[in-house]
Amino acid sequence: MSSWYTIYRWASAAIFGFGFVPLAGYSLIDADARKRLADRLGIYRIARSDGCCPRIWLHAASMGEVTVAESIIAAIRSKLPEAQIVLSAMTPHGFRHGVARMPADVDLIQAPLDVAPLLSHALNDIRPDLLVLLETEIWPNWIMETARRKIPIAMVNGRISSRSIGRYRLLRPLMAEILPKIGWFSMIHEADAERIASIGAPAERIVVNGNAKFDMLCRRADPGRIRTIRASFGVDGDDPVFLAGSLRGRESVRILDVYRLLKERLPELRLILAPRHLQRIGEIVSALHERKMPFVLKTRLASSSGTAFGGWDVLVLDTMGELFDAYALADVVFCGGSLVPKGGQNIMEPASWGKPVLYGPHMEDFQDARLVLEREGGGGAVRDDQELYRQVLRLLQFPDEALRMGQKARTALVRHEGASERHAEGLLGMLGHATCNQKRFLRQHQSNGKY
C-alpha cells in the first residue's frame, strides 16, 4: 500500500473524527440530516431477496448523475430483469431526484462518507457483486475497500474535464495507486479516455461509449405534457419566450440587460430566468427591482392552474427540478455557466425539446455535446452579451429559422442515443468475474437465449 494512499486513509479518518460531533449535533436539530446520518455512516438495512441474483451498486453524485443512472438502470433491467439495484446519491438534491424518478424496486440510499471503516460497514451491509461509479466519482477509500473484497469496479459514463485534469495530475501518485483497482473505464469521449489514462488508469481497460445522458432526454421530452407544463407556468398565450437556464455568477444580471434590449424590439417577449444555484435568487430580485422590471417567482404561481400570474413578463425559477420542463415553453434557449468560465451546462436538455440552443464560449465541460449540436446545426456559441442579443433577436424575428434549428438539435440528440446500452453490456460482462452463484445464474440465462 503506497504512502500516498496511507496518508489519505488516515487524513480522511482524522477529518471525520473532528467533524463527527458537529455532524451529529446538526442531525439532532435538522430532520432531513437526522434521516441521512445512518446512511452517511454506512449503516444500511437492505434485504437480499435471492442469493443467485447479482446485486449492482451504482453511485451518483447529484441530479445529473442520477439521470444517467436512470438510463443505465433501464438498460440493465432490459437485459437482466432479475438484477438487484442499489443506487446511492451524494447530494440531497440528487437523492430527492432519485426518489422522484427511480422505480420502486431500486434501493435508494444516501452515499456513505469516504472513510475506510464506514465504507467497510456499508459494503458488509450491501454486499454488492459489482460497484459502478458514475462520471467522475473517484473516492479512494471506497475503491480500495471494494477492491480488497475482490468486488469488480467500473467507472461508467466517465468524464474528466479539461478544467479538472490539472487537479487530478497534482494527485497523480494517489490516482496511480487507486485507478488500477478499477476493472473497466467506459468513458464519454476520446478526450476523457486520454485524460484518465494520463493520471494512471490502465489504457487496455479504457473504452469510449458515449454519453448516457443523451438517452433518457428524448423520452422525458414528451410533447403530450406541454399543455400541462404551460398551465403550471402560467403561459396561456402565443407570446414568445426567451429562457436563460443554469446561470452562474453574474450571468443572470447580464441576461436581464440583454432582455431589456430585446423587449424594446419585441414588447410581447417573456423571459424565464433560472439560476444554477438558488442562493442567487436574492441578487436577481434586487436587480429586477433596480431595473423596475415586473416579475414573479415560480413559487408564487397559483398552485392549481398557474393562471393567477399569467401576465408575467419575467418569471424567476426559484425551485429545483423544474428547469427541464420549463425548456418546453421556450422559443429560444441560452444555457449558462458559459459566458463566465464555469465550463458550461447541459445543452442537450433543451435540444431534447427541439429548441434552438445558444451558449457562451466557456463550454469545456460539455465539449462533446457542443460538437454534436454544432455539427448538425442545432446550437451556436456567442462570444459576449452583444452577440447573444443579436442571435436571440434574429431567431425570434425569424421563427421558421428557429424551428429548423431546434429540429436539428433534437435530430443530433437522437442520432447519439445508445450509450446506456453499451455501458450496460460491459457491466453485465463484468459480472462474469463475480461469484460462482452469479456465474451459474448467467449461464442459466445464456442457455435460455437471453444473452
What confidence tens digit (pLDDT) does each residue in 246-262 have?
A: 999 999 999 999 999 99
Question: 344's torsion region: left (phi>0), alpha (psi -120 to 50) or beta?
Answer: left
Residues 280 and 247 placed together within one structural domain of the fold = yes
- Spatial contact of 174 and 5, defined as CB atoms under 8 Å apart: yes
Into how many domains does the chain fold? 2
347 within domain boundaries: yes
74 within domain boundaries: yes
96 within domain boundaries: yes
27 within domain boundaries: no
For 102, phi then psi, to 5°, come to -80, 150
50 within domain boundaries: yes
What confidence tens digit (pLDDT) does each residue in 340-357 have?
A: 999 999 999 999 999 999
- In percent, the amount of the chain with pLDDT more than 70 equals 89
Residues 229 and 321 placed together within one structural domain of the fold = yes
State residue 451's pLDDT score: 37
Split at pLDDT 50, 70, 90, the class of 213 is: confident
Residues 167 and 310 placed together within one structural domain of the fold = no
Residues 256 and 299 placed together within one structural domain of the fold = yes
Split at pLDDT 50, 70, 90, the class of 74 is: very high
Split at pLDDT 50, 70, 90, the class of 64 is: confident
Residues 331 and 424 placed together within one structural domain of the fold = no
State residue 298's pLDDT score: 94
Least confident of 96-105, 239-248, 389-398, 415-424: 96-105
Residue 29 clears pLDDT 90, i.e. is over it: no
Domain containing residue 208: 38-212+418-447
pTM of structure: 0.81
CA 16 to chain centre: 27
**Distance of alpha carbon 19 from alpha carbon 446, whole angstroms:** 49
State residue 114's pLDDT score: 95
Select the more confidently predicted residue: 442 or 289: 289
Indicate which CATH number applies to the domain containing 287. Answer: 3.40.50.2000
Residues 383 and 293 placed together within one structural domain of the fold = yes
**Distance of alpha carbon 129 from alpha carbon 148, whole angstroms:** 13
Indicate which CATH number applies to the domain containing 113. Answer: 3.40.50.11720
Residues 392 and 430 placed together within one structural domain of the fold = no
75 within domain boundaries: yes
Residue 401 clears pLDDT 50, i.e. is over it: yes
Residue 308 clears pLDDT 60, i.e. is over it: no
Residue 150 clears pLDDT 80, i.e. is over it: yes
State residue 50's pLDDT score: 55
Residues 302 and 381 placed together within one structural domain of the fold = yes
Q: By C-alpha distance, which of 312, 252, 259 is closest to 282? A: 252
**Distance of alpha carbon 62 from alpha carbon 149, whole angstroms:** 27
What confidence tens digit (pLDDT) does each residue in 111-136 have?
A: 999 999 999 999 999 999 999 999 99
Residues 148 and 259 placed together within one structural domain of the fold = no
Please, which residues have CB within 8 angstroms of residue 219's CB and are 6 or more apart in sequence? Answer: none
State residue 237's pLDDT score: 79
Residues 201 and 88 placed together within one structural domain of the fold = yes
Select the more confidently predicted residue: 213 or 328: 328
State residue 69's pLDDT score: 95
What confidence tens digit (pLDDT) does each residue in 44-56 have?
A: 988 765 556 899 9
Residues 114 and 156 placed together within one structural domain of the fold = yes
- Spatial contact of 386 and 40, defined as CB atoms under 8 Å apart: no
State residue 407's pLDDT score: 97
Q: Using CB atoms within 10 Å of the CB of residue 450, give its burial: 0 to 12 exposed, 13 to 18 middle, 19+ buried.
A: exposed
Crossing angle of the two packed helices 213-220 and 63-79, in degrees rounded to 10: 90
Residues 306 and 356 placed together within one structural domain of the fold = yes
307 within domain boundaries: yes
Q: Which of 22-36, 65-79, 301-315 has the highest mean pLDDT?
A: 65-79
Question: What is the side-by-side strand order in the sheet with 295-297?
Answer: 295-297, 314-316, 270-275, 241-247, 332-335, 357-359, 379-381
Residue 67 clears pLDDT 80, i.e. is over it: yes
218 within domain boundaries: no
